[in-house]
């Protein structure tokens, strides 16, 4: 029964552009962009400002998500590159990943068009709140490690591969819920919630949270709710979601970019002291039953019965790693093969050291299941063409698939 796993709350149509340094450099010269202007926080209201933020992200080797003032900006920028059209959104990409292992699900959508009808497999059921078709594509920029941009006074080289998301998407900004969502949830064992990050109006967010709470009141006893954090278009609204929804969440998850955004500082993912302090500080700010952080080197769970989720963490890492190496179109055979990859030694060392530090932390006397730590290292992955788009979504799919397979 597909309603056993409900994945929401919205999906997207994505333009995935092919990175081309020559085109980027031509745009830099065309718009007269200088190194001193680079910033990830300028309003993205033109192709020029979009490029200013892309270059800042590349310089730092980090990913992120930004609101765009108009879909025309997305269309104009994408038109300069080779691109392909795919489906995105945490719920949809998670469902696609799960389907590779034969785990079926239902996705909750807030928009629909012919791209969605064509690209969403019949093995994935859907519940859509839209009353008419609409098309507001997201721009996905993926850059490899070592990507070079040399133009004007710029000379940038990306230290890490990553992906950027740019969106002007009214349906996801409104995030209307289907009136039958509660009925579907009454049969659900796992419910994924994502998408609040697109809402920009505090009053609308409060209404949606209240509506979602009403729908979730129909979840069966014992159902698990998984929340995936994302880059908020209005960062201040993250706190409103935590205040208005955290009590209903069993697993609160985020990637390394969201972790650093929440902490408002960089974290050295291979420094055990820095990681330990970051996890403790983050869990204090987001006191979830179980906090999950997934990164390129390790994934960790901190909180209630964390050890019970080791297989789920491993499933998430394996699924995301498979997408990183193979890209779209991977299958169960690829998943099994990547799962036999060697463990990342530095990631394993951090996991062991953080476990020791948290266990022996001064003043820590409670060793109950509410304060457990579980960490799993990532794999050593080598590929000339890594896929960084959708890795967090795919991690979520792998995590939930492992839970579903383990359930009786």
CATH assignment of the domain containing 221: 3.40.1190.20
Residue 147 near residue 158, CB atoms below 8 Å: yes
State the number of CA atoms in the 13 A half-sphere of 368 facing the CB. 4
Q: Are strands 148-151 and 106-109 parallel, antiparallel or unpaired?
A: unpaired
Q: Tell whether 50 is covered by a domain.
A: no
Q: Tell whether 91 is covered by a domain.
A: yes
First to last CA, the chain: 14
Q: Tell whether 262 is covered by a domain.
A: yes
Q: Tell whether 160 is covered by a domain.
A: no
Distance CA 10, CA 172 (A): 6
Q: Tell whether 159 is covered by a domain.
A: no
What residues make up the domain containing 101? 2-13+87-134+168-406
Q: Tell whether 392 is covered by a domain.
A: yes
pLDDT tens-digit profile, the chain (408 residues): 467 999 999 999 999 998 999 999 999 999 999 999 999 999 999 999 999 999 999 999 888 899 999 999 999 999 999 999 999 999 999 999 999 999 999 999 999 999 999 999 999 999 999 999 999 999 999 998 899 999 999 999 999 888 899 999 999 999 999 999 999 999 999 999 999 999 999 999 999 999 999 999 999 999 999 999 998 989 999 999 999 999 999 999 999 999 999 999 999 999 999 999 999 999 999 999 999 999 999 999 999 899 999 999 999 999 999 999 999 889 999 999 999 999 999 999 999 999 999 987 665 544 556 679 999 999 999 888 888 889 999 999 999 999 998 876
Query: Which residue, 188, 186, 204, 306, is CA-closest to 253?
Result: 306
Q: Tell whether 247 is covered by a domain.
A: yes
- The alpha carbon dihedral of 241, 244, 249, 252 has a sign of positive
Distance CA 241, CA 169 (A): 20
DSSP label at residue 110: S
Residue 161 near residue 192, CB atoms below 8 Å: no
Q: Tell whether 154 is covered by a domain.
A: no
Structural domain total, the chain:
1
Distance CA 71, CA 185 (A): 33
User: Helix, strand, coil % (nearest 5) of the chain?
Assistant: 45, 20, 35
Q: Let me know how long the chain is.
A: 408
């Amino acid at each position: 029964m597909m309603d056993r796993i409900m994945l929401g709350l919205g999906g997207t149509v994505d333009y995935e552009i092919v990175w081309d340094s020559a085109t980027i450099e031509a745009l830099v010269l065309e718009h007269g962009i200088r190194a001193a202007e680079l910033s990830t926080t300028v309003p993205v209201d033109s192709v020029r400002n979009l490029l200013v933020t892309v270059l800042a992200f590349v310089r730092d080797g980090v990913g992120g998500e930004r609101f765009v003032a108009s879909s025309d900006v997305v269309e104009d920028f994408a038109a300069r590159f080779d691109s392909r059209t795919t489906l995105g959104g945490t719920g949809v990409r998670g469902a696609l990943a799960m389907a590779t292992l034969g785990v079926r699900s239902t996705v909750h959508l807030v928009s629909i068009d012919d791209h969605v009808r064509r690209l969403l497999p019949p093995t994935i059921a859907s519940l859509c709140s839209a009353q008419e078709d609409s098309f507001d594509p997201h721009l996905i920029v993926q850059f490899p490690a070592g990507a070079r941009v040399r133009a004007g006074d710029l000379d940038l080289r990306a230290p890490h591969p990553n992906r950027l998301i740019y969106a002007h998407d009214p349906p996801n900004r409104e995030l209307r819920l289907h009136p039958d969502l509660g009925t579907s949830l009454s049969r659900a064992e796992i419910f994924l919630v994502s998408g609040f990050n697109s809402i920009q109006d505090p009053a609308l967010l409060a209404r949606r949270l209240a509506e979602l709470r009403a729908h979730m009141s129909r979840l069966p006893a014992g159902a698990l709710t998984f929340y995936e954090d994302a880059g908020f278009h209005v960062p201040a609204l993250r706190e409103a979601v935590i205040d208005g929804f955290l009590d209903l969440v069993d697993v609160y998850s985020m990637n390394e970019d969201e972790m650093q955004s929440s902490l408002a500082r960089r974290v050295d993912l291979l420094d055990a002291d820095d990681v330990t302090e970051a996890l403790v500080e983050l869990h204090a700010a987001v006191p979830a039953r179980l906090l999950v952080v997934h990164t390129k080197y390790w994934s960790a769970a901190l909180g209630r019965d964390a050890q019970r989720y080791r297989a789920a963490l491993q499933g998430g890492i394996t699924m995301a790693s498979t997408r990183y190496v193979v890209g779209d179109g991977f299958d169960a055979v690829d998943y099994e093969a990547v799962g036999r990859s060697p463990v990342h030694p530095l990631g394993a060392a951090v996991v062991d050291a953080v476990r020791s530090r948290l266990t022996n932390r001064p003043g820590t006397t409670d060793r109950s299941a509410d304060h457990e730590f579980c960490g799993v290292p990532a794999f050593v992955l080598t590929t000339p063409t890594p896929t960084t788009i959708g890795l967090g979504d795919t991690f979520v799919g792998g995590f939930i698939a492992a839970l579903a397979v383990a359930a009786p």
